[in-house]
């Protein structure tokens, strides 16, 4: 409130007319203002106090400019000094100042935790007040929070703005601080013991780093492991090994290393000193990252036989609990099987074309992945290298996984072999970005990918949940040469769950894909090919065959392309007893026989939404777009068939029962749709057959049928 005149003016050194005598009128005017102010406060101005803002807002029976306090609202932001706006009985209240508490005492009763303090005060907490409280228990971690009167927790910060160290807020310690936004900033600081402890820990870490740096500086350079073993470890504790391929830093470590030295027979990581027992100490390699095969003696010189070296390296890594073995760039020859005998392990090269494993023996498996029977090998990976051969392989796989669970094969290029990849009773397998190429011109049993049962010693069971994506298996003649070679791109003998996508299979003598039900009591089921290409320059694109097991079902081809050639017989042929087979949204073209031929005792074939072009390409062998020669329960709908003036029939029903043929468009054949007398129970409805040289619909079947609304 402003007074005019005020005491400074009235009681100055003197009034304007008499510097030694104050003016009595001015004194009376000043005192009158004091009396009016006292009267105003005594009549209610400034004497109003409400516990909540709601109670204050409900009381407007006060003159304008009257002030009031709100002191205990649950929302601390509502507490403060308010000013009345408007005449008595109307108007509103406006918050103008915080409550005039400059100092607040809080109490920590221990209701919270050491690192989440809960405290209470008798007056509301605001950012304008200094708060004092005593710590109930010592904090044991950081950051630390405090909540006053159940409000949102505030993060405690030191005077410097940092989180207090563990132990920095000690039991019984008195803290002063202020609320600042979402933090509680201390005016005094944490106890020095925590700071000292942190400093000592930092000193210890710095000294350890210094020792490590010093140990990395070699005392000597040893030309060979023999020279390293002969060093006097009493005076020399660090050495750099210069032996070709095994280069690296070694340090002398005290302790019992006998087990590790025994496990590391190739001296890749641990080397025994000549004069010191392995129970006392060893030379230990200092490294960062993956274990290198060269440390164990592997040489990518296209000359050294690395089979035993790699087997020792794998066994050493397994015994030492190491998880990745890295192959060097170059060509690593091997003259016998490499035994990948460790679960939870990976072998990686430097990339396709950079690292090549070159097989030099004709008979047997190149890389055999298995642990001792009957246990499965688990969580293994092979990636980033190429494989080829110097001889014609007559038996065995380039890579074979026996009873694997969790198998990743990625970014591989395989040239030659007998079976390129074999999966024996494996589960949860992922094959990605794999290219397999054969140079064969004959069929002597070569297969790109084989999915079969595990060995009898592992239980003989089938596998499942196998995922193949972005892979290619073909013969070299698929590049535009003069013929086909090998037997199958993929052979499936036993599986329950195989999902193949975005992959190519082509130029094989017998079939690009061969799904064969030849084993009793196993499943050949749950198979889906999507967006794949089957290139059958000779033989068939896809073959389903065999009827030994009753579990031969649920096989799908969706969005795939089937391309024949001058010597191709069928793009798709089903024999044996498969059931629940679906061909949907696929493209079939250019074979000398039939595009789709079904000779089966199974039931439930669905052929929908496909395009078919040019069966019977030589116009002499005879061939149809779709031919049903046996089986039952067929759905042939929404297909587009162009016979290219070579196909005999767009759709042909020879022998079987129960078929729905509808909404197909057929042109440029001899007959659009042909039904033989041996076929019964069918409906042929809503098909369009145009530009065919013979009959649109040649119907000799029946007698149970419905043929209507065809054009």
Q: Please give, one letter per residue, the 3-state secondary structure of 319-376.
A: HHCCCEEECCCEEEEECCCEEECCCCEEEECCCECCEEEEECCCECCCEEECCCCCCC
168 burial (CB, 10 Å; 0-12 / 13-18 / 19+) is: buried
The SS3 call for residue 294 is: helix
- Cα distance between residue 130 and residue 186, in whole Å: 10
According to DSSP H, which parts of 19-71 are helical? 24-42, 53-57
- Provide the pLDDT for residue 449: 96
Q: What is the pLDDT of residue 305?
A: 98
Helix (H) or strand (E) run with residue 229 in it: helix 225-229
Cβ contact 292:320 at 8 Å? no
* Residue entry with tokens 């405290």: 119
Q: Would you state the pLDDT for residue 213?
A: 59
Pair 237, 218: CB distance under 8 Å: no
DSSP codes joined into one string, 384-412: EEEEEESS---BSEEEEEESEEEEEEEEE
d(CA 661, CA 676): 14
21 Cα distance to chain centroid: 94
- State residue 42's pLDDT score: 47
Determine contact, residues 172/178, Cβ cutoff 8 Å. Answer: no
- CA-angle at 145, arms to 140 and 150, nearest 5°: 130
How confident is the model at residue 1, as a pLDDT?
45
Beta-bridged to residue 161, according to DSSP, are none
- Report how far residue 305's alpha carbon sits from residue 289's, in angstroms, rounded to the nearest whole number: 26
Q: For residues 126 and 100, is the Cβ–Cβ distance under 8 A?
A: no
pLDDT of residue 161: 84
What residue ranges of the chain have pLDDT lower than 70?
A: 1-21, 30, 32-47, 189-200, 207-218, 477-484, 618-621
DSSP 662: E
The tokens 């793009």 sit on which residue? Answer: 571
pLDDT of the residue at 356: 98
* CA–CA distance, 647 with 571 (Å, rounded to integer): 14
Q: List, for residues 230-271, the tens digit of each pLDDT value.
A: 999 999 999 999 999 999 999 999 999 999 999 999 999 999
Report the distance separating Cα 605 and Cα 614, nearest Å: 22
* b/e map 96-115, b = 16+ CB within 10 Å: eeebebeebebebeeebebb
The distance of Cα 530 from the centroid of its chain, to the nearest Å, equals: 22
Q: Report the relative pairing of strands 533-535 and 504-506 from DSSP bridges.
A: parallel
Torsion of CA 701, 702, 705, 706, to 10 degrees: 50
Token pair in block for residue 646 = 């070579």
With vertex at residue 622, the alpha carbon angle to CA 616 and CA 627, rounded to the nearest 5 degrees, is 90
């Amino acid at each position: 409130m402003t007074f005019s005149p005020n005491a400074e003016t009235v009681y100055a050194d003197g009034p304007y007319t008499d510097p030694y005598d104050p003016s009595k009128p001015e004194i009376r005017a000043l005192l009158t203002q004091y009396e009016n102010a006292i009267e105003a406060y005594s009549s209610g101005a400034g004497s109003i106090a409400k516990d909540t803002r709601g109670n204050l807002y409900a009381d407007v029976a006060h003159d304008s400019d009257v002030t009031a306090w709100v002191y205990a609202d649950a929302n601390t932001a509502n507490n403060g000094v308010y000013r009345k706006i408007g005449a008595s009985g109307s108007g509103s209240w406006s918050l103008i100042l915080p409550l005039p508490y400059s100092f607040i005492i809080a109490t920590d009763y221990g209701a919270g935790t050491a690192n989440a303090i809960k405290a209470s005060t008798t007056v509301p907490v605001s950012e304008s007040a200094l708060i004092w409280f005593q710590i109930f228990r010592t904090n044991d971690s950081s950051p630390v929070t405090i909540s006053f009167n159940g409000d949102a927790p505030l993060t405690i910060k030191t005077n410097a703005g940092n989180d207090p160290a563990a132990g920095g807020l000690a039991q019984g310690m008195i803290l002063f601080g202020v609320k600042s936004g979402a933090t509680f900033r201390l005016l005094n600081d944490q106890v020095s013991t925590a700071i000292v402890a942190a400093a000592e820990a930092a000193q210890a870490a710095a000294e350890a780093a210094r020792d490590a740096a010093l140990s990395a500086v070699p005392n000597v350079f040893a030309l060979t492991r023999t020279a390293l073993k002969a060093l006097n470890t009493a005076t020399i504790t660090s050495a750099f090994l210069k032996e070709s391929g095994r280069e690296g830093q070694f340090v002398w470590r005290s302790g019992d290393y006998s087990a590790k030295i025994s496990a590391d027979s190739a001296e890749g990581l641990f080397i025994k000193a000549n004069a010191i027992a392995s129970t006392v100490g060893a030379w230990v390699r200092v490294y960062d990252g993956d274990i290198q095969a060269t440390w164990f003696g592997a040489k990518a010189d296209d000359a050294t036989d690395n089979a035993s070296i790699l087997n020792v390296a794998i066994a050493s890594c397994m015994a030492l609990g190491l998880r990745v073995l890295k192959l060097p760039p170059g060509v690593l020859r091997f003259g016998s099987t490499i035994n990948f005998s460790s679960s939870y392990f990976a072998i990686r090269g430097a990339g396709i074309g950079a690292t090549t494993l070159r097989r030099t023996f004709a008979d047997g498996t190149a890389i055999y992945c298995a642990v001792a029977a009957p246990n499965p090998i688990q969580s293994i990976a092979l990636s980033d290298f190429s494989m080829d051969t110097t001889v014609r392989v007559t038996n065995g796989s380039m890579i074979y996984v026996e009873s694997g669970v969790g198998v990743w094969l990625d970014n591989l290029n395989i040239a030659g072999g007998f079976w390129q990849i074999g999966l024996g009773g494996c589960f949860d397998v992922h094959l990605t970005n794999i290219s397999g190429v054969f140079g064969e011109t004959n069929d002597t049993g070569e297969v790109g990918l084989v999915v079969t049962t595990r060995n009898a010693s592992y239980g003989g069971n089938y596998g499942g949940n196998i995922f193949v994506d972005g892979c290619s298996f073909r013969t070299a003649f698929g590049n535009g040469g003069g013929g086909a070679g090998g037997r199958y791109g993929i052979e499936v003998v036993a599986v329950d769950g195989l999902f193949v996508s975005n992959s190519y299979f082509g130029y094989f003598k017998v079939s690009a894909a061969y799904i064969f039900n030849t084993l009793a009591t196993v499943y050949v089921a749950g198979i889906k090919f999507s967006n794949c290409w089957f290139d059958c320059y000779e033989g068939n694109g896809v073959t389903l065959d065999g009827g030994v097991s009753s579990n031969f079902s649920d096989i799908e081809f969706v969005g795939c392309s089937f391309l024949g050639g001058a010597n191709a017989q069928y793009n798709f042929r089903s024999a044996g007893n498969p059931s629940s087979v679906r061909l949907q949204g696929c493209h079939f073209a250019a074979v000398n026989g039939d595009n789709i031929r079904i000779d089966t005792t199974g039931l439930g074939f669905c052929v929908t939404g496909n395009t078919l072009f040019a069966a019977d390409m030589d116009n002499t062998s005879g061939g149809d777009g779709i031919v049903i020669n046996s089986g039952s329960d067929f759905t042939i709908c929404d297909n587009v068939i162009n016979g290219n003036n070579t196909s005999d029939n767009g759709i042909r029903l020879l022998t079987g029962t129960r078929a729905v043929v509808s909404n197909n468009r057929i042109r440029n054949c001899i007959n659009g749709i042909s039904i033989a007398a041996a076929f019964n129970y069918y409906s042929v409805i809503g098909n369009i057959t145009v530009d065919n040289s013979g009959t649109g619909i040649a119907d000799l079947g029946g007698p149970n049928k419905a043929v209507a609304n065809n054009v």
